[in-house]
């Protein structure tokens, strides 16, 4: 396995190529930090994009959804071509001019054929990985899914091979003629910060809040 993904026609940008990376570790870091993946596909001639939970295990991306969802049903019939997009917003870039306002971001785009996970062993492992991807340590603090719940859940497998990462960092790119304008310019950083855990209304008061909830944090950018 190389340190970078292969460059293909679909992962070659049409603009700002200096922002694109194929570094495997950097791609994995973004996928692991993000909580939601947007999955695009075409069905019955129309484009559809769905937000799905995801988990990365090595060079495999697992996607979770209801067995009744169209994309998941279609993927069971030999697979479905998809485009998966994961975006993290790191800051608002505020320029002196409205035109040069921007966002600092890290965005992974993966192309490939998503297939349904039919092996019970792989499906169990993927579902555990999905829970752990959201809240590390949570899988040992919950009941395992029963047969009915497993039947109602579909897990898709996407092998990561055609992948790119695009990143914007730094401050605004103001025009030279605007530098003396009296408007504030800079970056407003954004982070995902958890609030105070809120117990369920029917939770007994004697039930302690587990450490994996109290200590929850997203992975830090590499």
Asked, for residue 160, whether it belongs to a domain, the answer is yes
Give the pLDDT band (50/70/90) at residue 16: confident
What mean pLDDT is predicted for residues 54-67? 91
Per the prediction, the chain carries an average pLDDT of 92
In a domain, 78, yes or no: yes
Asked, for residue 1, whether it belongs to a domain, the answer is no
Confidence grade of residue 70 (pLDDT, cut at 50, 70, 90): low
User: Does residue 12 lie in a domain region?
Assistant: no
> Rounded distance, CA 42 to CA 58, Å?
27
pLDDT of residue 219: 80
**Averaged pLDDT for residues 52-56:** 96
**Facing residues of 37 across strands?**
52
Note the pLDDT of residue 15: 86
**What is the pTM (predicted TM-score) of this model?**
0.91
**Residues facing 220 on adjacent strands:** none
**pLDDT on residue 152:** 87
Beta-carbon neighbour count of residue 20 at 10 Å?
A: 17
Query: With left for phi above 0 and alpha for psi between -120 and 50, is residue 99 left, alpha or beta?
Result: alpha
Q: What's the mean pLDDT in 170-176?
A: 95
Q: What is the count of structural domains for the chain?
A: 1
CA distances from 163 to 73, 166, 167, 169, 218 (A): 24, 10, 14, 20, 22
Q: Tell me: the pLDDT tens digits for 99-143?
A: 999 999 999 999 999 999 989 999 999 999 999 999 999 999 999
pLDDT at 135: 95
Across residues 9-30, what is the average pLDDT?
Answer: 93
**Is residue 73 in some structural domain?**
yes
Residue 180 covered by a domain: no
Q: Is the pLDDT of residue 161 over 60?
A: yes
DSSP per-residue letters across the chain = --SBPPP-STTS-SS-GGGEE-BHHHHHHHHHH-S-EEEEEEETTEEEEEEEEEEEETTEEEEEEETTSHHHHHHTTT-EEEEEEEEEEEEEEE-SSGGG-EEEEEEEEEEEEEEE---HHHHHHHHHHHHHHHSTTGGGGSPPP-HHHHHTEEEEEEE--EEEEEEE-SS----GGGTTSS---EEEE-----------TTS-TTPPPPHHHHT--PPPP-
Q: Is 2 within the bounds of a domain?
A: no
Q: Which domain holds residue 167?
A: 17-173+196-214
182 assigned to some structural domain: no
Residue 13 pLDDT grade (very low, low, confident, very high; cuts 50, 70, 90)? confident
Kindly state the greatest CA–CA separation across the chain.
Answer: 67
- CATH number of 103's domain: 2.30.110.10
């Amino acid at each position: 396995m190389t340190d970078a993904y292969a460059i293909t026609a679909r992962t070659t940008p049409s603009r700002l190529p200096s922002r694109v990376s194929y570094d495997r570790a950097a791609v994995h870091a973004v996928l692991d930090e993000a909580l939601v993946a947007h999955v695009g596909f075409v069905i019955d001639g129309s484009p559809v994009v769905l937000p799905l939970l995801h988990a990365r295990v090595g060079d495999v991306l697992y996607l979770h959804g209801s067995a009744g969802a169209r994309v998941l049903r279609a993927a069971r019939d030999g697979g479905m071509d998809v485009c998966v997009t994961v975006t993290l917003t790191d800051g608002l870039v505020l320029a002196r001019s409205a035109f040069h306002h921007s966002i600092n971001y890290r965005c992974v785009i993966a192309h490939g054929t998503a297939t349904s996970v039919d092996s019970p062993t792989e499906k169990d492992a993927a579902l555990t990985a999905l829970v752990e991807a959201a809240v590390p340590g949570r899988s040992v603090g919950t009941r395992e899914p029963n047969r009915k719940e497993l039947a109602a859940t579909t897990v898709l497998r996407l092998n990561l091979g055609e992948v790119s990462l695009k990143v914007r960092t730094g401050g605004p790119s103001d025009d030279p003629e605007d530098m003396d304008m009296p408007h504030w310019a800079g970056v407003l950083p954004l982070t995902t910060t958890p609030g105070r855990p809120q117990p369920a209304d029917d939770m007994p008061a004697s039930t302690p809040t587990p450490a994996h909830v109290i200590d929850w944090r997203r992975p830090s950018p590499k």
